């Protein structure tokens, strides 16, 4: 039985189409989250105003300035969609992950659907102006793609309900006169709107400029401090021995307690460690701001990269280093860049140490696991874990788990560390994934393809 030569081509085309759709859906889902996050500080106010205005305008349009058509049940139902937004501070964490979906649903129902339907039924100047105002508000709340989705879905539903409504009569001339004004408002609003991509690029440019300034301003004093610390470390032991010898010989030297002398000896190590830590942070910031695509790739050993990261990491104390355990076996080759791999491990170790310190518990284990499908480096800690509504967003640029307008918490960073890890792993043809259980553990897995395959995930 022969196979049609067109079948593999059709299968390949279908696979490409499926991957493209998945990328589009993933990108739109991220856009939904970002736009919801930008709107969240005003969400409670929007919920209060929306639920109140939709209800209170019924007597205005029904009795004070009577319109041809009113619908109290539909108005109250749409008003009720705003009430959960007004109650956002009391949402449980388990529901917070669904806030973007509900935000888009509420805006679709309340604005393009309800206002669009009432505009079709009435076609009066009051409702035409209300519809135009809703369009402008939607363009302020959403990016262009999200606006088109929300406005199109809501308007199509409004048109469908209007077509199925008994005694519905379209004011054709009025609506035809309104369409050019509506199109002008939409095109003008789209032209004058600063997109989210432009805003994010501005933040990236500002971060790059700040990183360069930090490096320029701090490298020289840090280098001078390191030279001074090494000079003190060279001569301090001789001074301490001289002081102790003078004391034994009964010479008139100032009294110094033994613990003070020990503190002087330890201070040299503290100075060296702090300078190393500051330089490491600067390196990480500069590498995070640098375009990842410019970094060339070579063949490396995974264990050597991890061991180098453990040697170079600026631990706050010996106890911090002792909390980290590297598996004694396992190694593989990978196609990457040493600085990228080291700094990815740096970021994950820094996060694990920070959160386990804050929780007052937790050990960190690193596993190097070669595999037939994909080689892996796993970093596992028994710390506080990550809330389930936060996990899908941790690799988003500038997202940092912490307080938002309706929650509690403390912002823990700039939101560039894990985004850098994600970009670095993609550049090396691999991926990064997080598995966690709140209150129990967090595990990050770095997946690397086999160098000889040249695969790119």
E-assigned strands of 303-430? 324-326, 333-336, 364-369, 375-381
Taking only the tens place, the pLDDT of each residue in 313-326 is 877 777 888 889 99
Band the pLDDT of 293: cuts 50, 70, 90: low
Residues 6+ apart with CB under 8 A from 409: 401, 402, 403
C-alpha distances (whole Å) from 408 to each of 48, 100, 403, 411, 439 are 21, 18, 5, 10, 17
For 297-448, CATH number out of 3.40.50.12240, 3.30.70.100, 3.30.565.10, 3.30.70.3270 equals: 3.30.565.10
**Whether 441 contacts 383, CB under 8 Å:** yes
Within 13 A of 111's CA, how many CA atoms are on the CB side? Answer: 27
Residues 6+ apart with CB under 8 A from 404: 37, 40
* Residue range 285-311: mean pLDDT, rounded: 78
Q: Does residue 265 register a pLDDT over 90?
A: no
Write out the two tokens for 448: 């690397």
pLDDT at 406: 38
Residue 299, strand partner residues: 335
pLDDT at 105: 93
pLDDT at 106: 92
> Using CA atoms, how far apart are residues 117 and 110, in angstroms rounded to an integer?
10
> Using CA atoms, how far apart are residues 237 and 175, in angstroms rounded to an integer?
90
Helices (H) and strands (E) in the chain, counts: 16, 7
What's the distance, CA 195 to chain centroid?
18
Q: Does residue 414 register a pLDDT over 70?
A: no
pLDDT at 455: 43
Q: Does residue 113 register a pLDDT over 90?
A: yes
Residues 6+ apart with CB under 8 A from 55: 75, 76, 79
* Domains of the chain, residue spans: 6-193, 198-289, 297-448
* Residue range 75-88: mean pLDDT, rounded: 93
Give the largest Cα separation in the chain, rounded: 114
* Residue range 152-158: mean pLDDT, rounded: 94
């Amino acid at each position: 039985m022969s196979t049609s030569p067109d079948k593999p081509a059709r299968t390949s085309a279908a696979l490409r189409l499926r991957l493209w759709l998945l990328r589009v859906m993933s990108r739109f889902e991220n856009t939904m989250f970002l736009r919801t996050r930008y709107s969240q500080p005003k969400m409670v106010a929007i919920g209060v105003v929306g639920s109140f205005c939709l209800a209170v305008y019924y007597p205005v349009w029904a009795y004070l300035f009577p319109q041809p058509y009113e619908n109290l049940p539909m108005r109250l139902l749409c008003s009720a969609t705003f009430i959960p937004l007004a109650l956002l501070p009391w949402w449980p964490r388990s529901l917070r992950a669904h806030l973007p979906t509900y935000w888009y649903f509420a805006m679709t129902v309340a604005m393009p659907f309800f206002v669009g339907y009432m505009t079709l039924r009435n076609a009066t100047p009051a409702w035409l102006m209300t519809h135009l105002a809703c369009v402008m508000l939607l363009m302020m709340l959403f990016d262009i793609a999200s606006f088109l989705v929300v406005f199109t879905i809501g308007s199509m539903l409004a048109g469908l309900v209007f077509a199925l409504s008994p005694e519905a009569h379209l004011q054709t001339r009025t609506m035809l006169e309104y369409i050019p004004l509506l199109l002008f408002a939409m095109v003008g609003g789209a032209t004058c709107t600063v997109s989210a991509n432009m805003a994010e690029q501005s933040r990236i440019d500002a971060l790059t400029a700040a990183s360069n300034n930090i490096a320029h301003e701090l490298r020289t004093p840090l280098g001078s401090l390191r030279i001074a610390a090494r000079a003190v470390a060279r001569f301090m032991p001789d001074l301490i021995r001289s002081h102790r010898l003078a004391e034994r010989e009964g010479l008139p030297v100032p009294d110094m307690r033994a613990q003070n002398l020990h503190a002087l000896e330890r201070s040299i190590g503290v100075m060296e460690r702090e300078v190393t830590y500051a330089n490491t942070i600067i390196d990480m910031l500069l590498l995070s701001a640098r375009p990842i695509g410019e970094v060339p790739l070579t063949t490396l050993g995974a264990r050597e990269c991890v061991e180098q990261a453990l040697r170079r990491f600026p631990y706050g104390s010996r106890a911090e280093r002792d909390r980290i355990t590297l598996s004694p076996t396992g190694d593989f080759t990978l196609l990457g860049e040493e600085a990228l791999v080291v700094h990815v491990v740096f970021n994950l170790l820094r996060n694990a140490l920070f959160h386990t310190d804050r929780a007052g518990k937790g050990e960190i284990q690193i596993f190097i696991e070669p595999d037939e499908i994909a080689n892996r480096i796993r970093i596992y800690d028994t710390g506080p874990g990550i809330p389930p509504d936060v996990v899908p967003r941790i690799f988003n640029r500038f997202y940092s788990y912490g307080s938002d307008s309706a929650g509690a918490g403390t912002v823990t960073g700039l939101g560039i560390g894990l985004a850098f890890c994600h970009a670095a792993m993609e550049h090396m043809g691999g991926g990064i994934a997080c598995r966690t259980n709140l209150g129990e553990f967090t595990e990050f897995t770095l997946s690397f393809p086999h160098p000889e395959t040249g695969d790119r995930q």
